[in-house]
Chains A and B, each alone.
With several copies, the nearest count.
Chain A
């Protein structure tokens, strides 16, 4: 297991949509060992400041083995991501990763990937991985507006033709939510399919409701506040499915879970 904790340089940093950025970081060993669904913890504070205190978790959106880089997509939502958006290429960021357990890579039967919002990041990584291995998958990506998706797809070199796109305002692809195309897909398949999904909680719940009993496996990537990202603090608890009061820890047991194991 390779696990890096060091300062890594920003090589590429650009805005790809409203408040959405792509960040390319020089981290050859992370690039080499990262698996789809894994994440990194990134320090966002200035060199000699203590605030914001915690590192922020971001999914790896893809890696570039040749350049030895990893890429993440992020949206500016609060203090940390705002600070992050201001760093220039050349700046060093504290990087810890790759972390967590990613998506199942070998699956039998048909495969459907679903990503919503910034949840497209690990789905893009997974999709690229599958394609590179010569396999195939249906990939459904959703966003509120086309703006949010276009730049991200371009940056990650994914052709609009290869994926199914939905936008809430209909400005790109089909108007509506990812569950629309997903429902259609599910009508046409047998029970031996796998769905692998990442996105906001309501989306994951909807995907789970839709696919109930219709697929062999639904894997979902979850989020929670994290302090350490490596199993030290037990802060990232998420309720297990079942009657007993038990928790999984997203950073260590996940972030990707079999949907049957966790409450959505």
Chain B
């Protein structure tokens, strides 16, 4: 363990089913804009992939402010999925990502199965420039009275089964952590034909403004992210990896390369950096460098060699 045997031939490439990444470090949706905003700070070609801000069929204005609030070691957000809509994404955002040759994953959200399907069909026209679609199933399911698809295995299965039928682009299903049993949700995603799962999305939380005697966020509830949630996310990744055969992408509070190693050891094949990028825009590169150094020093030749059996 303690020994140091520098390796020059380590292989950082990972395959998430049909999705190939040059290395396992990705940027999480909603924390890297549409990529371009980050360019002064990070060479987007140096990392595995960029997952752009969640896209819906129509543009969305998002929630009234305040939208964010700091909690102990955490960030509470209720952005409300503000986004430019799929049309503007394809005409204004994707071309730049394509030109730069950046591996792009498109995160999508909808209020009905129909919306998810239509989004996937539309995105399929650009299947050459899109590495994968990440399905955010934490959104309210209008038909099921506002309960998110991702909070039941049935809801998850329903969305995923339909989208895989309408597109050739590989599908990553992003799981909600606000569930009793993450393994049954992960299995539902797998059964429905997902190529990979990513977890966790933010944890439902809130804060109260005691001076004003009212919820602090404009939306009352928000999603908690950042170092605070890392131990919870890690547990879910560990459980999910042991419940399915498809690759798992670990997300949640990853701020240092050590955190990244923990998620990969728990069974993730890749990881996503979210809040850490907001705090320090160059985080992903530092994490990748640290991970590479660690693998060299410890003699891990490839990413999945880190898995604890």
Residues of A within 8 A of B (CB): 1, 3, 5, 43, 50-55, 94, 96, 224-228, 230-239, 244-247, 252
Q: Is the CB of B79 within 8 A of A5?
A: no
Residues of B within 8 A of A (CB): 30-33, 37-38, 40-41, 53, 61-70, 72-75, 77, 79, 82, 226-227, 255, 275, 277-282
Q: Nearest 7 CB-CB pairs, A to B?
A: A235-B68, A228-B278, A50-B72, A50-B227, A227-B278, A231-B37, A245-B61
DSSP class of B's interface residues: helix, strand, loop or mixed? loop
Q: Which residues of B contact A54 (CB under 8 A)?
A: 70, 75, 278-279
- Residue among B61, B63, B69, B227 facing the most chain A CB atoms (10 A cut-off): B61
Q: In whole angstroms, what is the CA distance A121 to B277 when docked?
A: 28
Q: Is the CB of A234 within 8 A of B277?
A: no
Q: Is the CB of B281 within 8 A of A246?
A: no
Q: In whole angstroms, what is the CA distance A244 to B53 when docked?
A: 22
Q: In whole angstroms, what is the CA distance A228 to B41 when docked?
A: 12
Q: In whole angstroms, what is the CA distance A187 to B142 when docked?
A: 56
24 contacts between A and B (CB under 8 A): A1-B40, A5-B282, A50-B227, A51-B73, A51-B227, A53-B73, A53-B74, A53-B75, A54-B70, A54-B75, A54-B279, A96-B281, A224-B66, A227-B278, A231-B33, A232-B281, A233-B79, A233-B278, A234-B62, A235-B67, A236-B65, A236-B68, A237-B67, A247-B61
Q: Which residue of A lies closest to B78 (CB)?
A: A235
- Minimum distance in angstroms from B53 CB to a CB of chain A: 8
- Minimum distance in angstroms from A228 CB to a CB of chain B: 4
Q: Which residue of A lies closest to B216 (CB)?
A: A225
- Other A-B pairs beyond A225-B67, A227-B275, A232-B38, 12, CB < 8 Å: A50-B73, A50-B226, A52-B70, A53-B74, A55-B279, A226-B68, A230-B41, A230-B281, A232-B278, A235-B68, A236-B67, A237-B82
Q: Given A54-B70, A233-B278, A237-B65, does the pair A3, B40 have CB atoms closer than 8 Å? A: yes
Q: Is the CB of B40 within 8 A of A238?
A: no
Q: Is the CB of A232 within 8 A of B37?
A: yes
Q: In whole angstroms, what is the CA distance A3 to B40 when docked?
A: 7
- Minimum distance in angstroms from B59 CB to a CB of chain A: 10
